[in-house]
Amino acid sequence: MTKMLIIGPPGSGKGTQAERISGRLSIVAISTGDIFRANVKDGTPLGVEAKKYMEAGDFVPDSVTNKMVRDRLAETDVEDGFLLDGYPRTTEQVDYLDQILARGDQKLDFVLQLTADDEELVARLLGRAKKTGRSDDNEAVIRYRLDLYHEQTEGVVAQYAERGILTQIDGIGQIDEVTERVMQSFRETHVA
């Protein structure tokens, strides 16, 4: 039963790689972005609150995010493992996730950080915005989100590095190449 986390800046390919990795490892991928969008679409109280922050390009506050993730990790499809995408983003969220997992006498096995150059990410996200019509992806919002990512996740990366479960992988390249880099690193840590 593998419990892992994938982190990386917006546009680094987290969602794509999360789907591929979860398929290969037969574990469920849990994207906080998907959780947010589902709550917004359904008009839940947490979704209404989250929408305000998402539209401004801000991260949804820990209090809202933690509740959504806690509820999702209580579902039965995560019993055989999971891959979290986009959570935790802050050191406070790391502590909260530790508490959730500790209740089931569990902990994370592997933390994957996708790395990429900010200018490459801006170009990727602007291209995606044109293709998908995502209103939350314009250059000013993208750069703001990248700055927030760097500011907030530095401590998260440091915590998982101290625990010896962090692996950094270059997220630039063909999708298959990045997936193979990830899976090779995963096999080398003999987690699989």
Tell me 78's DSSP state: G
- Looking at residue 1, its pLDDT comes to 79
User: Is 127 annotated among the ligand-binding residues?
Assistant: no
Catalytic residue among 3, 20, 72, 89: 89
pLDDT at 89 over 90: no
Quick check: is 181 catalytic?
A: no
Catalytic residue among 3, 14, 20, 72: 14
- Looking at residue 192, its pLDDT comes to 45
User: Is 88 annotated among the ligand-binding residues?
Assistant: yes
Mean of pLDDT values over 72-87: 91
Residue with the two structure tokens 């840590």 = 189
- Looking at residue 84, its pLDDT comes to 95
- Looking at residue 136, its pLDDT comes to 64
3-state secondary structure of 2: strand
User: Is 32 annotated among the ligand-binding residues?
Assistant: yes
Quick check: is 145 catalytic?
A: yes
Mean of pLDDT values over 134-148: 84
Q: Report the C-alpha gap between 103 and 111 in whole angstroms.
A: 20
List all residues 6 or more positions away from 12 whose beta carbon is below 8 Å from its beta carbon: 114, 115, 116, 121, 171
Q: Report the C-alpha gap between 81 and 75 in whole angstroms.
A: 11
Quick check: is 72 catalytic?
A: no
Better-scored residue on pLDDT, 32 or 82: 82
* pLDDT, tens only, 1-29: 799 999 999 889 988 999 999 999 999 99
What backbone phi and psi angles, to 5 degrees, belong to 117?
A: -70, 135
Choosing among 2.30.30.90, 3.30.390.50, 2.60.120.680, 3.40.50.300, the CATH entry for 2-183 is 3.40.50.300
User: Is 130 annotated among the ligand-binding residues?
Assistant: no
Mean of pLDDT values over 118-132: 90
Cα dist from 177 to 1, 32, 170, whole Å: 25, 25, 10
Mean of pLDDT values over 122-151: 86
Compute how many other C-beta atoms are within 10 angstroms of the C-beta atom of residue 165: 18
Catalytic residue among 145, 163, 181, 187: 145
Range in 2-11, 15-24, 73-82, 129-138 with the lowest mean pLDDT: 129-138
Quick check: is 134 catalytic?
A: yes
Strands 28-31 vs 81-85: parallel, antiparallel or unpaired:
parallel
Mean of pLDDT values over 65-71: 89
Query: How confident is residue 135, by pLDDT bands cut at 50, 70 and 90?
Result: low
pLDDT at 167 over 80: yes
- Give pTM, 2 decimals: 0.84
Quick check: is 24 catalytic?
A: no
